[in-house]
């Protein structure tokens, strides 16, 4: 394979890679509803196995052996608003095998206008929390605390028009050091793939004269360089201020 053939192959591969990346970006920008949730459970009080039998614990005059706090965050990660009319089956956070010790406490809301509320209910034979709201724009939602006894499993279900399910996005935010590492890795990969790579190819073709023989190669590289450089500039704040969860959800104990 001669030099010209290698240049042609590199051009085709580069065009495919940048084209696929552009399509993926376009799909991400499509309007969609994306309700997501996450939770963490902490044991706040309990009796160990070595506790004497005469030692008793009560919560609101109810005998208990262990008390847990589950903090749940629920919000719309998508860019299409979720209206109350879109919810055909209520959002239910189920605590399998547990007793909920008091009505859930809403620790934070994105804003009062969404009218988000949470109340204790029984669904499917298990104690649960039902969440209702007027609407959820992008990043709108709330953080809810639930006090309960030991639970076998915590799940969140609903039926919302335009969505498949409420996605569990994992634990709460990683520590700041993890933030910095992730931001740095993301930024370096972004620069190498979408800025440095096309720029290197652009100057290579320009210096070797190949662009004059195949002018479309030069045009394609210029378009991709300008597009992805502009996107990097627009997303600069997002890359350096990475947040898995909305800012309003940052609350203390």
pLDDT in tens, 137-193: 999 999 999 999 989 999 999 999 988 789 998 876 544 545 556 666 666 766 666
Dig out the tokens for 238 from the structure: 């997002």
Ordered DSSP codes for 144-181 = EEEEES--SEEEEEEEETT-S--EE--SSPPPHHHHHH
Q: How confident is the model at residue 63 (pLDDT cuts 50, 70, 90)?
A: confident
- What average pLDDT is seen over the chain? 77
Are 196 and 220 within one domain? yes
Are 185 and 157 within one domain? no
88 exposed, middle or buried (CB, 10 Å; 0-12, 13-18, 19+)? exposed
User: Using an 8 Å Cβ cutoff, are 163 and 79 in contact?
Assistant: no
What distance in Å separates the CA atoms of residue 201 and residue 224, rounded to the nearest whole number? 11
Are 237 and 124 within one domain? no
What distance in Å separates the CA atoms of residue 247 and residue 107, rounded to the nearest whole number? 14
Q: How confident is the model at residue 236 (pLDDT cuts 50, 70, 90)?
A: low
User: What is the model's pLDDT at position 169?
Assistant: 87
Are 46 and 20 within one domain? no
Ordered DSSP codes for the chain = --HHHHHHHHHHHHHHHHHHHHHHHHHHTS----EEEEEEEEEEEE--TTS-TT--EEETTEEESEEEEEEEEEEE-SSS-EEGGGEEEEEEEEEET--B-S--EEEEES-GGG--EEEEEEETTEEEEEEE-SEE-TT-EEEEEEEES--SEEEEEEEETT-S--EE--SSPPPHHHHHHHHHHHHHHHHIIIIIHHHHHHHHHHHHTHHHHSHHHHHHHHHHHHHHHHHHHHTHHHHHS--SS-GGG----
Are 138 and 242 within one domain? no
Are 22 and 79 within one domain? no
Are 95 and 194 within one domain? no
Q: What is the pTM of this model?
A: 0.64
pLDDT in tens, 27-40: 555 668 899 999 99
Tell me which residue range forms the domain holding 131: 35-168
Last residue of a domain, one of 120, 153, 168: 168
Cα angle vertex 159, ends 155, 32, to 5°? 105
What distance in Å separates the CA atoms of residue 13 and residue 18, rounded to the nearest whole number? 9
Q: Which residues pair with 64 in a beta bridge?
A: 57
Last residue of a domain, one of 105, 133, 168: 168
Most confident of 5-14, 41-50, 94-103, 184-193: 94-103
Are 145 and 109 within one domain? yes
- CA 22 from centre of chain: 21
Q: Residue 118: is its pLDDT beyond 70?
A: yes
pLDDT in tens, 48-57: 655 556 556 6
Are 66 and 139 within one domain? yes
User: What is the model's pLDDT at position 174?
Assistant: 47
- Indicate the number of domains in the chain: 2
Last residue of a domain, one of 168, 195, 226: 168
Are 51 and 85 within one domain? yes
């Amino acid at each position: 394979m001669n030099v010209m053939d290698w240049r042609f192959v590199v051009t085709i591969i580069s065009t495919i890679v940048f084209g696929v990346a552009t399509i993926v970006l376009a799909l991400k920008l499509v309007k969609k509803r994306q309700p997501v949730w996450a939770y963490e459970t902490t044991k706040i009080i309990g009796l160990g196995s070595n506790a004497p039998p005469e030692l008793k614990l009560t919560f609101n005059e109810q005998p208990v052996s262990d008390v847990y706090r589950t903090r749940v965050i629920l919000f719309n990660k998508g860019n299409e608003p979720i209206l109350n009319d879109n919810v055909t089956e209520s959002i239910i956070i189920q605590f399998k095998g547990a007793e909920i010790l008091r009505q859930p406490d809403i620790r934070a809301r994105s804003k009062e206008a969404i009218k988000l509320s949470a109340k204790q209910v029984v669904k499917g034979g298990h104690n649960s929390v039902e969440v209702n709201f007027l609407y959820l724009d992008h990043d709108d939602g709330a953080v809810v605390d639930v006090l309960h006894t030991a639970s076998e499993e915590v799940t969140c279900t609903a039926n919302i028009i335009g969505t498949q399910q409420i996605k569990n996005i994992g634990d709460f935010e990683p520590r700041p050091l993890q933030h910095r590492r992730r931001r740095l890795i993301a930024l370096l990969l972004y620069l190498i793939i979408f800025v440095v790579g096309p720029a290197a190819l652009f100057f290579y073709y320009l210096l070797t004269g190949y662009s004059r023989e195949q002018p479309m190669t030069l045009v394609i590289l210029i378009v991709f360089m300008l597009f992805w450089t502009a996107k990097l500039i627009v997303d600069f704040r997002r890359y350096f201020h990475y947040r898995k969860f909305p800012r309003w959800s940052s609350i203390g104990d």
